[in-house]
């Protein structure tokens, strides 16, 4: 990472690998992910279901359930202002005091299914107030008052009533707002949102996206937003990372990803988006095949079995290196005609990527 970008990054994920070990095989759910979340910025991670997006997000906070575990890589949480040494969350014990002091206070997460994540036997106020009492030392009365303020902040009507309600008494959109209020309770510097709009109608989805934009602007927090909806990405993202089978195959600024996709998988995702005004006789493009079993990944390029441009004898034998087609861009494709592969060390000229300085062969 170059000196001019270090102060801008709050969460730096380097070479993250999360594996699930079974009796028969090792499932590489996250297989060498490099990402950076910037202060006041939104990084969207996109891809089909089963690409490892949620596993990556849970790995940041050491929330991976057994038999999964983080086996390699770093998750560096940088202090405010860029001063001092960052904390490597991946090196902390999953149930230790240190990581529990980070969860909810420094890095918070909005989970994918609010009705599955909220307790049905505790009131909304008790669940929001729990982190306030734990991390901020507030009394029950103070925590309840703060919970009402948080519910009003996320635009919950009748917050004084809702704070004493149970989740099963609320709609899906209302529960999603409660989840966001819980995540914001202690003013985290990084918010991870795991497909928070998937189960919502389009009107509620638009309201939630507007809420995220307002919160990011007002608090300056970094937002790691996970989704498979390219329309959502176009609306809120500053940067985009495209994941496939546990690997980031392309990343860069949102405008460049949408207008100049370099990886065949990125192009296929964009082509599959319905377009207003398209002919009714026009058949919507689809990506052929399905995601391979992560426990039995293809040799060479992981996307080659579904790629229309795959070259036999090349794509099935060689793992694509990272190329840098421009500032802030990174692509893993043997067919990409970008500059020389990015490497961790060695001679040659330095190539700025926007996140770090890498050496080109």
Q: Does residue 333 lie within any of the structural domains? A: no
Rounded to whole angstroms, the Cα distance separating 134 from 136 reads: 6
CB count within 10 Å of CB 195 equals 20
Based on the fold, state whether residues 49 and 159 are members of the same structural domain. no
Q: Are 11 and 107 contacting, i.e. CB atoms less than 8 angstroms apart?
A: yes
Average pLDDT over residues 72-99: 88
Instruction: Say how many domains are in the chain.
Output: 2
Q: Does residue 34 lie within any of the structural domains? A: yes
pLDDT greater at residue 215 or residue 13: 13
Work out the pLDDT band at 275, boundaries 50, 70, 90: confident
Based on the fold, state whether residues 27 and 173 are members of the same structural domain. no
pLDDT of residue 300: 92
Q: Does residue 29 lie within any of the structural domains? A: yes
Based on the fold, state whether residues 23 and 110 are members of the same structural domain. yes
What percentage of the chain exceeds 90 in pLDDT?
Answer: 54
pLDDT of residue 326: 87
Based on the fold, state whether residues 87 and 221 are members of the same structural domain. yes
Based on the fold, state whether residues 26 and 171 are members of the same structural domain. no
pTM assigned to the model: 0.86
Antiparallel, parallel or unpaired: β 9-21 and 26-38: antiparallel
pLDDT digits (tens, 9 = 90+) for 104-159: 899 999 988 888 889 999 999 999 999 899 898 999 999 999 999 999 988 889 99
Residue with tokens 């009714």: 280
Q: Report the length, in residues, of the chain.
A: 361
Residue 290 has pLDDT above 80, yes or no: yes
Rounded to whole angstroms, the Cα distance separating 189 from 10 reads: 8
Burial grade of 203 (CB within 10 A; 0-12, 13-18, 19 or more): exposed
pLDDT digits (tens, 9 = 90+) for 300-325: 999 999 998 889 999 999 999 999 98
Q: Does residue 61 lie within any of the structural domains? A: yes
Based on the fold, state whether residues 112 and 123 are members of the same structural domain. no
Q: Which residues in 61-80 are b (16+ Cβ under 10 Å) and which e?
A: bbbbeeebebeebbbbbbee
Based on the fold, state whether residues 65 and 79 are members of the same structural domain. yes
Q: Domain range holding 142?
A: 117-187
pLDDT of residue 2: 40
Mean pLDDT of the chain: 85
- The domain that holds 67 is classified in CATH as 3.40.50.300
pLDDT digits (tens, 9 = 90+) for 227-247: 988 888 988 999 999 999 999
Based on the fold, state whether residues 144 and 211 are members of the same structural domain. no
Based on the fold, state whether residues 110 and 145 are members of the same structural domain. no
Q: CA–CA distance from 279 to each of 231, 264, 268, 283 (Å)?
A: 20, 25, 19, 9
Residue 288 has pLDDT above 90, yes or no: no
**Boundary (domain end) residue, out of 187, 215, 240:** 187
pLDDT of residue 4: 41
């Amino acid at each position: 990472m170059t000196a001019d970008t270090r102060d801008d990054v709050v969460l730096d994920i380097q070479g993250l690998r999360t594996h699930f070990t079974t009796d028969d095989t090792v499932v590489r759910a996250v297989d060498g992910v490099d990402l950076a979340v910037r202060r006041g910025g939104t990084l969207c991670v996109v891809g089909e279901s089963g690409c490892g997006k949620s596993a990556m997000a849970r790995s940041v906070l050491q929330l991976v359930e057994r038999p999964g575990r983080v086996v390699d890589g770093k998750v560096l949480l940088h202090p405010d202002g860029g001063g001092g040494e960052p904390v490597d969350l991946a090196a902390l014990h999953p149930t230790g005091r240190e990581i529990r002091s980070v969860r909810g206070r420094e890095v918070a997460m909005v989970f994918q299914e609010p009705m599955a994540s909220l307790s049905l036997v505790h009131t909304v106020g008790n669940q929001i107030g729990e982190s306030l009492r734990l991390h901020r030392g507030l009394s029950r009365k103070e925590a309840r008052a703060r919970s009402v303020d948080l519910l009003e902040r996320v635009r919950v009507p009748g917050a004084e009533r809702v704070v004493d309600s149970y989740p099963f008494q609320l709609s899906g959109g209302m529960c999603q707002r409660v989840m966001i209020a819980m995540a914001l309770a202690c003013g985290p510097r990084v918010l991870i949102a795991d497909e928070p709009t998937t189960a919502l109608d389009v009107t509620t989805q638009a309201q939630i996206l507007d809420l995220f934009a307002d919160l990011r602007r007002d608090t300056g927090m970094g937002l790691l937003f996970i989704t498979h909806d390219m329309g959502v990405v176009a609306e809120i993202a500053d940067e985009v990372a495209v994941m496939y089978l546990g690997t980031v195959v392309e990343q860069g600024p949102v405008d460049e990803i949408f207008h100049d996709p370099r990886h065949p998988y990125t192009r296929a995702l964009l082509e599959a988006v319905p377009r207003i005004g398209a002919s009714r006789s026009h058949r919507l493009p689809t990506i052929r095949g399905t995601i391979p079993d992560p426990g039995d990944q293809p040799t060479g390029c992981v996307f080659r079995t579904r790629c229309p441009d795959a070259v036999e004898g090349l794509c099935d034998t060689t793992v694509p290196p990272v190329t840098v087609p421009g500032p802030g861009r990174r692509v893993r494709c043997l067919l990409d005609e970008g500059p020389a592969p990015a490497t961790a060390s060695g001679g040659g000229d330095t190539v700025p990527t926007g996140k770090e300085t890498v050496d080109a062969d």
